Chain A
Amino acid sequence: MSASRPDLVIQGLGKRFGATVALDGVDLRLPGGSLVCFVGPSGCGKTTLLRVIAGLETPTTGHLLLGDRDLTRVPVHRRDVGMVFQSYALFPHLTVAENVAYGLRIRGVQRRERLARAQELLELVQLPDVAGRRIAELSGGMRQRVAMARALALDPALFLLDEPLSALDAKLREGMQVELRRLQRRVGITTIIVTHDQEEAMAMADLVVVMGDNRVQQVGPPLEIYRRPVNRFVANFVGRNNFLPARMVAPGAVEVAGVRASVARDLPVPPVGADVTVAARPEMLRLRAQAPATPALRGTVSMVRDLGRAVETRVRVFDHELVVSGRGGFAEGDEVWVELPEAGLVALAA
């Protein structure tokens, strides 16, 4: 990662549309040169935050700093951002090359020079042969690449993408995730991708910003978000999770249905005596035919689904149904013990 790229700092950012709060007190520091994903359900404010960063919306409160440059009141055309819109927003009256060269034309770069630069960028996104075509003649995947080439043409300080892969089919999307990640590594521009797809965020990002309810819920590397969600919203939104009511009985220990188990201690935990919710990932749980020596909950298998790469077993434990992902080997109606892992449980405020 390039050391010369300044960090993007967001301080106390808020945005209202009339009486509607779209963003509420957002504080973030995004390291220069990194690839950041804003992820959250629709309506959580992630696109508004991206548009504020782009300069397409003016924040109601707060500041936006790129290094020591205050961007808060800088209009979009002087902000030095490259943006890929959800609709791609390619200009239908211009050819592919003219689209990519548009920013250079606005800057007054000579025609020959800007078209040569457009060709270089089209090669960067692996579309060397489409320069003279009209936008209407391109497939969805090609338009996506052209939009990226166009956004990178001015070597912007920030590369912003709004749901860039949502219009592509599943197979193409996975390929583009890898390619986008490679492209970002090569150009080294600080990149922000907005997505509602948490798997996409996990697969691409250096840093994931989970948004919900118009505020930032958690910021961290993908694995940390996955393993150590700070609240029930994040635990529920990112990946799949089982939730069980429990009580804190000691620092780092909970009691679930009379069974004492340990929970992760490397993040703030509720005080002893508090009612909590314990979150356990399906792949962290193990099924045993006999009672193990370790903490375990007894239950009955209620459903088995073989998903190919893993077997999903649903186990009825008192009045909850737990989802366990593993090798299977049990049938509906079997009595089993669900082994609670030593380090895989997270205690969240109830």
Chain B
Amino acid sequence: MSAPTARPAISASPDAGSGDGPWPHVLLAWPTVALTLLFLVPLGIIAALGFFRRIQAGFFEVAFVTDNYARALDAFHLERLAVSVVLALAATLVTLLLAVPFTYLLTRRPRARQVPYLVLVLASLSLSEVIVAFAWSLLLSRTSGISNLLVALGLMDRAASWSPGLAAVLLAYVFIALPLAVLSLYPTFSRLDQELPEAAGTMGATPLAGFVTVVLPLMRRAVAATGALVFIFVLGAYVIPQTLGRPAQWTMPVHITDQAIMKNHLPLAASLAIVLLVVSSLVAVVIVALGAGRWPRFALPGRAR
């Protein structure tokens, strides 16, 4: 600042901040800078790697070729991309269908009674995707899985193998995403004024009608944000589809891993990763926009405008 004239201290120049000196800026800056660098630099490297040329039976050399991106967008990989997105969307939908009513009912309980549920939900978050995938592959197997228990109980004739398959993949996806969804929904739901659904009840709304016409519209942003979070989380999983899925359920992360580690084709793996990143970001943006915009009209007779 060059102005030498006396100014009221209260209208200090913007770079003077709130007068606390540089420390707040430094403290805020270092994680921001570190995260930005640790995110953007590797991202740039991967994006660039996609244009490098692969050397047969070797590594890669710096070049500018478009073959890798072209291959990442060929019919086979586009189909894999579609399968990945549809699977993740299905898992997101099932997760929300379970997590939203669960969290709503949980937050209507007295606070002390909520604690055991929250502790259990948090505890299951400590399991990694790898453990979950292998645990379910055992639980769903014919030799030592749950079906043996059902046979012992007389509910089934003989043990069956439920893995690998679509259902097994979805089940494990929902299993890892559910606690995350509950924790993401919990703060908003616990702030909901309990008198709002009660008021709906006094005006003749059944608990379900009150939930659909009052609670959901008020919670739609939180539900959409949670949906986007779950979608991205599930889309990134690769042990689950690889372990519990048939080749038909192998998602992009499985193929990226395959190219990067098994086939040693890093440039193709990089270009696949960039395509997946762009598509998943777009889908997440659409999900959040759905939440911020109008809630889809429900089957109730002509909603008032």
Contacts and interface: CB of A to CB of B under 8 A. Distances in A.
B213 interface: yes
Contact of B206 (A77, A86, A93): A77
B209 interface: yes
B202 A151 contact: yes
A328 B207 CA distance: 61
B145 to A, nearest CB: 42
A264 interface: no
A89 B302 contact: no
Interface string A100-134: 01110111101100110000000000000000000
A154 B203 contact: yes
Contacts of B218: 91-93
Contacts of A56: 198, 201-202
Contacts of B205: 77, 102-103, 106
Contact of B204 (A85, A93, A154, A160): A154
A105 B303 contact: yes
A83 interface: yes
B193 interface: yes
Given A85-B198, A87-B193, A103 B304 contact: no
B84 to A, nearest CB: 34
A208 interface: no
A321 to B, nearest CB: 44
B279 to A, nearest CB: 32
A89 B193 contact: yes
B294 to A, nearest CB: 10
Contact of A106 (B196, B213, B302): B213
Given A89-B193, A91-B196, A76 B300 contact: no
Contacts of A81: 202
B304 A97 contact: yes
A105 B301 contact: yes
Contact of B304 (A107, A114, A151): A114
Given A87-B193, A91-B196, A110-B302, A76 B213 contact: no
A246 interface: no
Interface in A268-302: none
B35 to A, nearest CB: 35
A154 B200 CA distance: 12
Interface string B210-236: 100110011000000000000000000
Nearest to A82: B202
Contact of B202 (A76, A91, A93, A110): A76
B199 interface: yes
B195 A77 contact: no
Contacts of A93: 214, 217-218
A90 B196 CA distance: 7
B85 to A, nearest CB: 30
A105 B195 contact: no
B1 to A, nearest CB: 41
A223 interface: no
Contacts of A102: 200, 203, 205, 213
B304 A101 contact: yes
B204 A103 contact: yes
A207 interface: no
A94 interface: yes
B40 to A, nearest CB: 38
B203 A150 contact: yes
Contacts of A160: 202
Nearest to B302: A111
B301 A83 contact: no
Contacts of A37: none
A79 to B, nearest CB: 8
A85 B195 contact: yes
Nearest to B295: A93
A103 B198 contact: no
Given A82-B202, A102-B203, A154-B203, A89 B300 contact: no
A95 B207 CA distance: 22
B304 A94 contact: yes
Interface string A31-48: 000000000000000000
A108 B301 contact: yes
Contacts of A77: 201-207, 209-210
Contacts of A54: 202
Nearest to A17: B110
A77 B201 CA distance: 5
Contacts of B300: 105-106
Contacts of A115: 304
Most chain B beta-carbon neighbours within 10 Å: one of A97, A102, A114: A102
A105 B201 CA distance: 13
Given A105-B300, A105-B304, A114-B304, 14 more contacts: A54-B202, A55-B201, A76-B198, A77-B204, A77-B205, A79-B202, A82-B202, A83-B202, A87-B195, A89-B199, A103-B205, A107-B204, A110-B301, A154-B203
16 contacts: A77-B203, A77-B207, A81-B202, A85-B195, A90-B199, A97-B304, A102-B205, A102-B213, A103-B205, A105-B213, A106-B205, A106-B209, A107-B204, A110-B301, A111-B302, A150-B203
Per CB-CB distance, the 4 closest pairs between chain A and chain B, nearest first, are A103-B203, A89-B199, A89-B195, A76-B201
